[in-house]
Amino acid sequence: MGSEVTTKRSMSSIDLICLSHLRWDFVHQRPQHLMMRCAQERRVFFVEEPIYGVSAPELEVVARGENLWVMKPHLPTGLNPADVELTQEELLEHLLEQFKIRHYLFWYYTPMALGFTQHFKPKIVVYDCMDELSAFRGAPPQLVACERELFQRAQLVFAGGHSLYEAKCKQHSRVYEFPSSVDRAHFGQARHSTTSPADQDALARPRLGFFGVIDERMDIELIAGLADVRPDWQIIFVGPVIKIDPKTLPQRPNIHYLGSKPYAELPKYLGGWDVALLPFARNEATRFISPTKTPEYLAGGKPVISTSIRDVVYPYGQRGLVQIADTVPEFVAAVEYALQIHTHDPTWCVRVDESLAQLSWDNTWQAMSLLIEIELARSWTPRHAAQAMPVLAVANE
């Protein structure tokens, strides 16, 4: 019994190094939800992609909570690809030394990080595949090959949606499906919101809203058509515009781009909408997406209309929780129906709550954490436990 406790405590001391293509302070989504929960169990080091423009390489370390640090590598401009990877490798080695990281696991969000991490020796490797990155605009041509190599190195692969799971389970023997989850209490605040933020409060009603990243996945023609057909409807976008020229977005008197907002404020914006939208284009970039916004909108008590994104159709459309529409006339009809939901279908929110009852980031992380602990136990040899015992004995005195 004593050796089991020692081993368990030793495994909990293993740090997690997360290698991400997304920046911590960009948009609060899957990586932030999971890493914040992981930091309640072990130290987490969130390593971002490089920022260029300094005269000499440096690693900026920013604390983002107890047991959680964000690493921002700063590199000189003009380095060739080989030097970029070598410099990042050196900065990561410095991180291990600075924080006395001895035993750790790698958690990848981007296969491109393999280039500067392949010489390290993590206890295990986890690949949390939240998107089909190779389908996104500007994806590096070597990304597919890097992902193949990552599959060979990883002990665990987590898929961020059912479509992704179906695609990835053929490439690895231990792929687990973990679709987008939700903080129900956070977005549930929208159900009791009485006032909107100042930049939204003056807009007329009805209000149709979207929050999230605005990029090549948006169906621009659909948005423009909806605004033209119903100029009395106010269409609101909350979020950053990336990878596309903002000038290409439809400009209409009833379309409003409010920019990025903190995660804490999203329920206030959601609470001021009458209908929530998922106006995604149907293209390669959206083929495998599982929008986190779907359960967030529903948790906020808002009727949702989406284009026929597969991971929205199944299960949300199939259960009658989200209306599916792809053309302007279909969207108009869906919005008109949605505006009547709370009046004519009082059971809708009950069905939503029943559907979301078991869905939470806490549950998702607990299931992931269990798989990680099992995998760490397999890699944790008696030699490692013996080395850790004196340290634990001193710590417990």
Cβ count within 10 A of residue 390:
9
Q: What is the DSSP letter of 48?
A: P
Q: Phi and psi at residue 323, in whole multiples of 5°?
A: -85, 140
Find the radius of gyration of the CA atoms of the chain: 23
Please list the helix, strand and coil fractions of the chain in percent, rounded to the nearest 5, in that order. Answer: 45, 20, 40
Rounded to the nearest integer, the mean pLDDT of the chain is 90
What b/e sequence results for 43-59 when a residue is b if at least 16 CB atoms lie within 10 Å of its CB, and e otherwise? bbbbbbbbeeeeeebeb
User: Cα(146)–Cα(392) distance, rounded to whole angstroms?
Assistant: 39
How far apart are alpha carbons 262 and 76 in whole angstroms?
Answer: 31
Q: Which two tokens stand for residue 233?
A: 């409807």
Q: What is the pLDDT of residues 176-200, one digit of tens each?
A: 999 989 999 999 999 998 888 999 9
Cα(387)–Cα(379) distance, integer angstroms: 14
Q: Which domains does the chain have, with CATH numbers?
A: 2-181+360-395 (3.40.50.2000), 184-356 (3.40.50.2000)
Query: Which pLDDT belongs to residue 390?
Result: 32
d(CA 196, CA 267): 10
CA distance 111 to 21: 9
Cβ-contact 59, 26 below 8 angstroms? no
Q: Which of 17, 26, 23 is nearest to 45 (CA)?
A: 17
Average pLDDT in the 10-38 region?
91
Question: Please, are residues 322 and 335 in contact by the beta-carbon 8 Å criterion?
Answer: no
pLDDT band at 2 (very low <50, low <70, confident <90, very high): very low
Cα–Cα distance between 297 and 167 in angstroms, integer?
27
Secondary structure element (H or E) that encloses residue 211, with its range: strand 207-211
Q: Give the closest residue to 49 by CA, choosing from 110, 137, 139, 138.
A: 110
**For the chain, first and last CA: distance in Å?**
19
- Give the pLDDT band of residue 4 (cuts 50, 70, 90): very low
Task: Count CB neighbours of 262 within 10 A.
Answer: 8
Instruction: Describe the crossing of helices 220-229 and 328-338 by its angle, rounded to 10 degrees.
Output: 60
Residue with tokens 């920019």: 259
DSSP codes of every residue in 148-197:
HHHHHH-SEEEESSHHHHHHHTTT-S-EEE------HHHHHGGGG-----
CB 109 within 8 A of CB 31: yes
pLDDT in tens, 116-161: 999 999 999 999 999 887 777 777 888 889 999 999 999 999 999 9
Q: Residue 366: phi, psi to the nearest 5?
A: -60, -40
pLDDT tens per residue across span 358-380: 999 999 999 999 999 999 998 86
User: Do residues 77 and 53 make contact, with C-beta atoms less than 8 angstroms apart?
Assistant: yes
Cβ proximity of 206 and 233 under 8 Å: yes
The 10s digit of each residue's pLDDT in 233-277 is 999 999 999 989 999 999 999 999 999 999 999 999 999 999 999
What's the pTM value of the predicted model, to 2 decimals?
0.90
Query: With bands split at pLDDT 50, 70 and 90, how would you rate the model's confidence at 393?
Result: very low
